[in-house]
Chain A
């Protein structure tokens, strides 16, 4: 019997892995930075797959009565394009940046629940792979990302069952991640980092996590009802048995509209970080940018029926949701004007991150304006379900979110990989992307107003819209080219670049730039003490008597400089393989729902064993 108090008590039954390097460490890591990288690479892979699907769609529509794809293939491809870009690219890519950056930006060593973080990632990637396995198991989902029943519940192909199960799985990943990051932001901020000293990116991250926590249960209920309808013959959405098809639409969009803000708010955060750094000015109207983000989060739950103006909800509902849709333009406008205010009178350095950030603002504005036309309900009777809508949401989500995410990659690449992406190629990519993007989606306004509906696998020449379809297809391949430029840039940078001469190369403002590039596993030798918004900036600059900024001489700062290089005696969570084990059980259960109860049992067993191991392993490695 051990009695000495100096011996650490071993409360766990199972030993924990210790390796933090080597390929196996990627499977057991609970380090938020490594998990962020895993998210990032997986999401980017799905971006490429979704992009190939987009190219197939545009190739099919390049000429009238095309037979490159048949109706069945086309329906699967446009469905998977939407599902992939939303659930497997933009959401996890945002999660990648949140994971990597939030702890660094708030001065924490990791997220609140490191193993839950690993679990989130593994559930996400396995859910994505589960969805994609449908291509080989009888056909991919073919009812659109919106999956309207009764079409989706009665379609004889197996695809929409994969859709329901796959999205439940990725929803589990997002829910766990959301709780984790929200708790991290609320509880783990460094001393002095009050809520209103947080970087706007962290604020937007917090809003997004709350949106996820409240929106995901709604879609989960709907997905289970769809699954029950398809698999076990219930009648939630079956009108012939008293079911209600519109129930799905209300549930789906009550999730689906906040989802739009889940996709765009991270980019708003990114833009709010990049613009001040490259304008060398603080963010204009910090409080207004933060509160407008929160307001968007709230109002975002009250506009869902603008996706349903043609459904026949009646003039009362259409009036109400038309008005709320107009209202949400106000806080969005506030953000735009504040970003312009940030750049105004600045000293604007157009490095690649700034190009993408300004591009995102400029493109998002176009999507925002076409969005206002949706609030004009009778006009929307004409535009809904046409390419005008496709144009609108690509200006918002590609023009806004994807441009923003590319800006984030250029901006934080040096932080993560200790190398700077080539500036020339970054600019080349930006301009190709800007031209390609506008060529692809600009003409879609015209196509929609000209009467081309969404989701049709071909169109006759007599529709008179062939030319603009061809322009759009050319644009899509330019987008593909710009993506290739990015990949080449990244690959060559990693191979050739010698590393950073200056670890604060952008003269940045926020805490993540106070550590080395890449940050050590423990992030900060000493937890920073925060005194203001843009803490790092204020350590570098002080205002002189005339209110001008003067650089603080090196070594004169009263802030703790790096003295302890070792980082020893810092408590860090140990790696664990149990999150992976627990996650593996979920797709097995899902396959079981499709094929055999035995598999359900086996999958459940794996997950339970995973959670048991999780609970019983030692709190730290020895």
Chain B
């Protein structure tokens, strides 16, 4: 972040302003440009995955352009006022040799009118693109792909409600995922935002409540609040395949800081593969530890079965929606779990077994306040469950 590397996506306008001009005009321009550059570049780095100044889709790009547009008059006013204060402070500072009383000026009506009207005009000019953009961003194209975003305490669920996104089994419901929203690159998507509770019951047995969240993936779109009883929309698209970070932006309780998600934009071929896989029910693992884990997950002979009280697994009797759907927990696109607080896979692609184990041992120890209870699982049971979960490709 400190390097402030110039990246092409970030400051084309500032760069353009550097050329041309001469004399004092040139110097002023330099200062102006440097100032804007400092702000832009400082906030601009490829390594910052939530950088609003490095947009990766039309919605975020529009929003950034508007900010950059305002930064120019803002920088000008900044220089005039701060420079003015500085110059006046130096020029008219008290000097020992001068004990003359300064002229007693009480005001100047023309000046007053001037500095009332001039800023008003600047602001009016700024408001023109602002207002048109407000309306532009509020448009919901009829042909957009529909995804419903569900905010829980403290993770995100995604429901693909288009008819062609129904699963192949059961009642042919929508594809449901958690933590990672997979999208096709270049497709306009209309998100419907809803807020739901945080699991059937919290660890203390108190029923959970629906609270306000805010859905935000900085490189793709600005935030919209997710409000119980209301429905908001975000329309966006991703220009390039890639991974885009996001997180809840409205304070929503204890683990607000760790209510994250990722948006995975796939090219057409990968997208089709992903959809085909998601439409399949969860696999039944062959005999072995994974199958024993499955028995524990669903419960046999009165042992286990707690998992399905909250978690759903497609194509099985586990249909609860209170906690993240685990049908394709180990799909490579499902990069993170439990509010994207943990990576599902190590950097080399192997299962991140240790993180999942720690989570199962005591969710509250690794994420204070997590709604998933500590079931007092033995190490052996944890191993079996991990084996089962990582079989859910």
Say whether A70 contacts B368, CB under 8 Å: yes
Contact with B along A305-345 (1 / 0, CB 8 A): 00000111011001100110011011001101110110111
Please, how many residues of chain B have a CB less than 8 angstroms from a CB on the other chain? 95
A376 contacts partner chain B, Cβ-Cβ < 8 Å: yes
A231 contacts partner chain B, Cβ-Cβ < 8 Å: no
Give B153 Cβ to nearest chain A Cβ, in Å.
9
Task: For the complex, give the distance between the alpha carbons of A282 and B103 in Å.
Answer: 9
Say whether B228 contacts A239, CB under 8 Å: yes
Find B127's partner among A315, A375, A458, A549 (CB 8 Å cutoff): A375
Contact with B along A375-407 (1 / 0, CB 8 A): 111111111111000000000000000000000
Given A311-B227, A464-B47, the answer on whether A449 and B134 have CB atoms closer than 8 Å is no
Find B119's partner among A154, A333, A458, A468 (CB 8 Å cutoff): A333
Say whether B230 contacts A549, CB under 8 Å: no
Q: Which residues of A contact B50 (CB under 8 A)?
A: 450-452, 463
Say whether A455 contacts B256, CB under 8 Å: yes
Give B267 Cβ to nearest chain A Cβ, in Å.
24
| Stretch of A50-58, A255-263, A359-367 contacting B (4+ beta carbons < 8 Å) | A359-367
Say whether B94 contacts A347, CB under 8 Å: yes
Q: Which residues of A contact B49 (CB under 8 A)?
A: 451, 462-464
Say whether B127 contacts A379, CB under 8 Å: no
Q: Which residues of A contact B224 (CB under 8 A)?
A: 310, 312, 381
B318 contacts partner chain A, Cβ-Cβ < 8 Å: no
Contact with B along A143-172 (1 / 0, CB 8 A): 110101011001110000000000000000
* A: interface residue count bin: 35 or more
A183 contacts partner chain B, Cβ-Cβ < 8 Å: no
Say whether A72 contacts B368, CB under 8 Å: yes
Task: For the complex, give the distance between the alpha carbons of A258 and B58 in Å.
Answer: 36
B17 contacts partner chain A, Cβ-Cβ < 8 Å: no
B248-262 interface with A by 8 A CB criterion: 248-258
| Stretch of A116-124, A283-291, A417-425, A430-438 contacting B (4+ beta carbons < 8 Å) | A283-291
Q: Which residues of B contact A218 (CB under 8 A)?
A: none
Given A150-B212, A333-B115, A348-B92, the answer on whether A71 and B254 have CB atoms closer than 8 Å is yes
Task: For the complex, give the distance between the alpha carbons of A213 and B42 in Å.
Answer: 44
Say whether B43 contacts A450, CB under 8 Å: yes
Give B139 Cβ to nearest chain A Cβ, in Å.
9
Give B390 Cβ to nearest chain A Cβ, in Å.
23
B232 contacts partner chain A, Cβ-Cβ < 8 Å: yes
Name the CB-closest residue of A to B209.
Answer: A154
B358 contacts partner chain A, Cβ-Cβ < 8 Å: no
B208-237 interface with A by 8 A CB criterion: 209-212, 214, 216, 218, 221-225, 227-230, 232-233
Say whether B223 contacts A350, CB under 8 Å: no
Q: Which residues of A contact B211 (CB under 8 A)?
A: 150-151, 154
Say whether A144 contacts B127, CB under 8 Å: no
Task: For the complex, give the distance between the alpha carbons of A115 and B224 in Å.
Answer: 49
Name the CB-closest residue of A to B50.
Answer: A451
Say whether A549 contacts B257, CB under 8 Å: no
Contact with B along A80-116 (1 / 0, CB 8 A): 0000000000000000000000000000000000000
Find A445's partner among B43, B84, B130 (CB 8 Å cutoff): B43
Given A322-B130, A366-B78, A450-B1, the answer on whether A340 and B84 have CB atoms closer than 8 Å is yes
Find A376's partner among B47, B67, B78, B258 (CB 8 Å cutoff): B67
Give B201 Cβ to nearest chain A Cβ, in Å.
12
Say whether B70 contacts A312, CB under 8 Å: no
Task: For the complex, give the distance between the alpha carbons of A463 and B245 in Å.
Answer: 9
Say whether A148 contacts B212, CB under 8 Å: yes
Give B173 Cβ to nearest chain A Cβ, in Å.
24
Q: Which residues of A contact B216 (CB under 8 A)?
A: 385, 453
Find B257's partner among A143, A369, A458 (CB 8 Å cutoff): A458
| Stretch of B104-112, B160-168, B273-281, B321-329 contacting A (4+ beta carbons < 8 Å) | B104-112
Say whether B108 contacts A151, CB under 8 Å: no
Query: How many inter-chain residue pairs (CB < 8 Å) link A and B?
Result: 309
Q: Which residues of B contact A350 (CB under 8 A)?
A: 89, 93-94
Say whether B249 contacts A327, CB under 8 Å: no
Task: For the complex, give the distance between the alpha carbons of A346 and B247 in Å.
Answer: 52
Q: Which residues of A contact B103 (CB under 8 A)?
A: 281, 345, 547
Q: Which residues of B contact A240 (CB under 8 A)?
A: 209-210, 228
B138 contacts partner chain A, Cβ-Cβ < 8 Å: yes
Given A288-B112, A311-B225, A330-B119, the answer on whether A340 and B251 have CB atoms closer than 8 Å is no
Contact with A along B25-41 (1 / 0, CB 8 A): 00000000000000100
Give A385 Cβ to nearest chain B Cβ, in Å.
4
Q: Which residues of B contact A451 (CB under 8 A)?
A: 48-52, 218, 245
A47 contacts partner chain B, Cβ-Cβ < 8 Å: no
Task: For the complex, give the distance between the alpha carbons of A155 and B233 in Å.
Answer: 27
Given A318-B134, A336-B81, A373-B67, the answer on whether A150 and B210 have CB atoms closer than 8 Å is yes
Say whether B70 contacts A379, CB under 8 Å: yes
Q: Which residues of A contact B245 (CB under 8 A)?
A: 451
Contact with A along B115-143 (1 / 0, CB 8 A): 11001100110110011011101100000
Say whether A315 contacts B135, CB under 8 Å: yes
Contact with A along B274-307 (1 / 0, CB 8 A): 0000000000000000000000000000000000
Task: For the complex, give the distance between the alpha carbons of A87 and B107 in Å.
Answer: 36
Given A382-B223, A452-B50, A456-B257, the answer on whether A245 and B89 have CB atoms closer than 8 Å is no
Q: Which residues of B contact A280 (CB under 8 A)?
A: 101-102
Q: Which residues of B contact A37 (CB under 8 A)?
A: none
Name the CB-closest residue of B to A249.
Answer: B212
Say whether A340 contacts B252, CB under 8 Å: no
Say whether A376 contacts B130, CB under 8 Å: yes
A244 contacts partner chain B, Cβ-Cβ < 8 Å: yes
Give A333 Cβ to nearest chain B Cβ, in Å.
5
Give B74 Cβ to nearest chain A Cβ, in Å.
5
Q: Which residues of B contact A188 (CB under 8 A)?
A: none
Name the CB-closest residue of A to B40.
Answer: A449
Task: For the complex, give the distance between the alpha carbons of A377 and B66 in Å.
Answer: 9
Given A311-B227, A330-B119, the answer on whether A450 and B51 have CB atoms closer than 8 Å is yes
Complex A-B: 24 CB contacts under 8 Å: A71-B368, A151-B209, A151-B251, A246-B227, A281-B102, A334-B115, A341-B111, A344-B105, A349-B94, A365-B82, A372-B123, A373-B70, A375-B130, A379-B66, A379-B70, A382-B64, A383-B67, A449-B51, A450-B43, A451-B52, A463-B50, A464-B51, A468-B42, A549-B101
Q: A362-B85, A373-B67 are in contact. List 14 more A-B contacts (CB 8 A).
A: A71-B254, A75-B256, A148-B212, A151-B212, A282-B104, A285-B112, A312-B230, A319-B135, A341-B107, A348-B93, A370-B74, A377-B133, A456-B258, A549-B101
Query: Which 5 A/B pairs are nearest by Cβ-Cβ distance?
Result: A451-B50, A381-B222, A456-B257, A464-B48, A239-B229
Chain A residues at the B interface, C-beta cutoff of 8 Å: 70-72, 74-75, 143-144, 146, 148, 150-151, 154-156, 238-240, 244-246, 279-282, 284-288, 310-312, 314-315, 318-319, 322-323, 326-327, 329-330, 333-334, 336-338, 340-341, 343-350, 358, 361-362, 365-366, 369-370, 372-373, 375-386, 445-446, 449-459, 462-468, 541, 543, 547-549
